[in-house]
Chains A and B, each alone.
Chain A
Amino acid sequence: MKRCFLLLALLWSGQVSAQTVYLEKKEFALRNQTARIKFQVSHSRSEPVNITVNVKGPSSDPTKPGATLTEGVRLTPSSFKLVPNKMKKLLLTLTSAASQKTPYFLCALYIPPVERKEQGTGGTSGFALLATESCSRFWLIP
């Protein structure tokens, strides 16, 4: 049944080309200050693309991701090439000393490749690169 819901969610989100993080639950219990979080990542672009998964901690605003965590995070691989419309299952082991219910964020980042067109010398030209990131919030409960 859970797979059916994930498939439905993937099909629904598949109408745009963004990457998506699917969390099985929104709350995870800490045991010995460690939580194991199963999640899946997909995208629906037309070709395989590189996705980077970042784990972000809390900020002063519970609706906003804080800084990317580099310690207390075990996630392998955190960056990978993913074919379209396939769910990649991942396991995050997160260590936290949180003493109260605390928000964390799992984020999938896609940076479009730069195909910069060289302009003639002397002109004024420019380009903008807008990366996109999809995050899901979850809570750790001591």
Chain B
Amino acid sequence: MNNKHALATALILLCAPAASFAGTSADFEATGSSPAFCDISNTGGPISMSISPDKATLSGSGSYQFLANGDAKVTLSALVPVSPQGAAAYTSSVSLANLVTNTSTTAAADSSTQAGTNRASGAITTTISQNNAQQLLSAGSYSLAATATCTAL
């Protein structure tokens, strides 16, 4: 009889809804992990560039925002400039203020590792500058393309 009673008690305890244990136990276990990520955005879209008074430079500005919840790096790809046919020699650059600048059409440029959590914003500056004896940019339309990449490490 005692065995039957004990078995019945055990069954009741095992089959009872979880809520009925609330009065006997207050153990909670909450676990989780926050995914590492980084974001970088060009907040203004395409950047218009206008000629300087000395007719030597096209320049434009925009703005970026960058955030990361852990170590991250920002890279600017090699620049892809397009110029009018037969244009005089020129150079180009893209800069994300306080992060990274690239002036190369063949190699990417990297920021240092941005350690820990980061939330930064700043100016994007783009320039196309003459690099010829006449110190003039040729007439016509120029464009400059690049990709800013952030990498969560």
Q: Hey, which bits of chain A sit against chain B, CB under 8 A?
A: 1-2, 4-6, 8-9, 12-13, 15-24, 26, 63-65, 105, 107, 109-110, 112-117, 119, 122-137
Contacts and interface: CB of A to CB of B under 8 A. Distances in A.
A45 B25 CA distance: 46
A80 to B, nearest CB: 19
Given A124-B142, A126-B141, A135-B150, A64 B75 contact: yes
B89 interface: no
A23 B65 CA distance: 22
Interface residues of B, number: 55
Interface of B: 30-43, 45-51, 55, 58, 60, 62, 64-67, 69, 73, 75, 94, 110, 113, 124, 126, 128, 137-153
B41 A132 contact: yes
B75 A20 contact: no
A119 B141 contact: yes
Contacts of B146: 128-131
8 contacts: A119-B141, A124-B138, A125-B58, A125-B141, A127-B144, A128-B94, A130-B47, A133-B149
Which of B40, B62, B140 is packed against the most chain A CB atoms within 10 Å?
B40
Contacts of A24: 35
B151 A63 contact: yes
A26 B151 CA distance: 13
A5 B32 contact: yes
A4 B152 contact: no
B67 A16 contact: yes
Contact of B43 (A9, A17, A21, A116): A17
Give the interface centre of B34, B41, B94, B113 by most chain A CB atoms within 10 Å. Answer: B41
Which residue, B32, B35, B128, B141, has most C-beta atoms of chain A within 10 A? B35
Contacts of A18: 39-41, 65
B39 A16 contact: yes
Contact of B152 (A15, A19, A132, A135): A135
A135 B149 contact: yes
Nearest to B144: A128
Contacts of A123: 51, 139
A125 B49 contact: yes
B46 to A, nearest CB: 5
Contacts of A127: 46-49, 60, 143-144
Contacts of B58: 124-126
A1 B33 CA distance: 9
Contacts of B144: 126-129
Nearest to A116: B46
Nearest to B108: A64
Contacts of A22: 35, 37
B31 A1 contact: yes
